[in-house]
């Protein structure tokens, strides 16, 4: 998100971890220095001290129903991406230890890159890019049987970052489209704009 090494992810990805690392090369993890959880939304800020290629975060431009989104991450623990269209604005209700209701955006899946079948578990915490290559939110839940992916509302991200006095920076951006979102996603991972988060829990 910026050259200070501040990254945003989903809270449930790092909550309860004894230590957190980011995969920056095959078999090479960089330890996370700090983790800050958002008490109101499924968001977390993690810091590694530096990051080479921040990515543009757009929380102001209106998202219209039918807008295209490209969800990039590590579903099933390996690189993968999904193409969607914005379907509705809704609320996500969570139960259990962290009971909450928060505004979200619901996206309808219309495509995946080759080889990605079945569950999308593990894609949470990754970004959703718009067609201009700007990040518009964080993936917080998925329902592959319904063909849905859910991301944070832009207002939630903005409120969290404002409270922490964190400023995003613009970085390299490439347009995404239905024909090229696979290689564009690979490039975002290569530039470490999207990284895999590892959570370690001590027995």
DSSP per-residue codes, 38-50: -SSSS-EEEE-S-
Burial track 115-132 (b if 16+ CB lie within 10 A, e otherwise): ebeeebebbbbbbbbbee
Please give the pLDDT value at position 94.
Answer: 65
Q: Residue 152, SS3?
A: strand
Please give the pLDDT value at position 99.
Answer: 65
Which parts of the chain have pLDDT scores under 70? Answer: 1, 93-99
| Count of beta carbons in the 10 Å neighbourhood of residue 11 | 24
Please give the pLDDT value at position 199.
Answer: 92
Please give the pLDDT value at position 96.
Answer: 57
Please give the pLDDT value at position 130.
Answer: 97
Question: How far apart are alpha carbons 150 and 201 in whole angstroms?
Answer: 26
7 and 22 Cβ atoms separated by less than 8 Å? yes
Question: How far apart are alpha carbons 194 and 14 in whole angstroms?
Answer: 16
147 and 107 Cβ atoms separated by less than 8 Å? no
pTM of the model as a whole = 0.91
Burial track 31-53 (b if 16+ CB lie within 10 A, e otherwise): ebeebbbbeebbbbbbbbeebee
Q: Residue 75, SS3?
A: helix
Q: Residue 8: name the closest of 41, 39, 47 by CA.
A: 47
Q: Residue 161, SS3?
A: helix
């Amino acid at each position: 998100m910026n050259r200070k090494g501040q990254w945003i992810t989903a809270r449930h990805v790092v909550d309860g971890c004894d230590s957190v690392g980011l995969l920056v090369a095959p078999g090479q993890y960089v330890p996370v220095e700090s983790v800050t959880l958002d008490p109101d939304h499924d968001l977390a800020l993690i810091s590694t001290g530096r990051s080479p290629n921040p990515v543009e975060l757009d929380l102001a431009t209106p998202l219209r129903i039918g807008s295209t989104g490209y969800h990039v991450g590590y579903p099933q623990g390996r690189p993968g991406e999904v193409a969607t269209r914005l379907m509705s604005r809704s609320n996500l209700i969570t139960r259990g230890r962290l009971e909450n209701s928060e505004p979200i955006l619901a996206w309808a899946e219309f495509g995946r890159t080759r080889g990605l079948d079945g569950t999308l578990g593990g894609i949470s915490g990754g970004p959703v890019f718009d067609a201009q290559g700007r990040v518009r939110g964080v993936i917080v839940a998925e329902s592959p049987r319904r063909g849905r992916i859910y991301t944070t509302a832009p207002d939630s991200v903005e409120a969290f970052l404002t409270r922490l006095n964190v400023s995003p920076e613009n970085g390299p951006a490439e347009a995404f489209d239905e024909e090229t979102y696979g290689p564009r996603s690979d490039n975002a991972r290569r530039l470490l704009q999207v990284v895999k988060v590892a959570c370690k829990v001590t027995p």
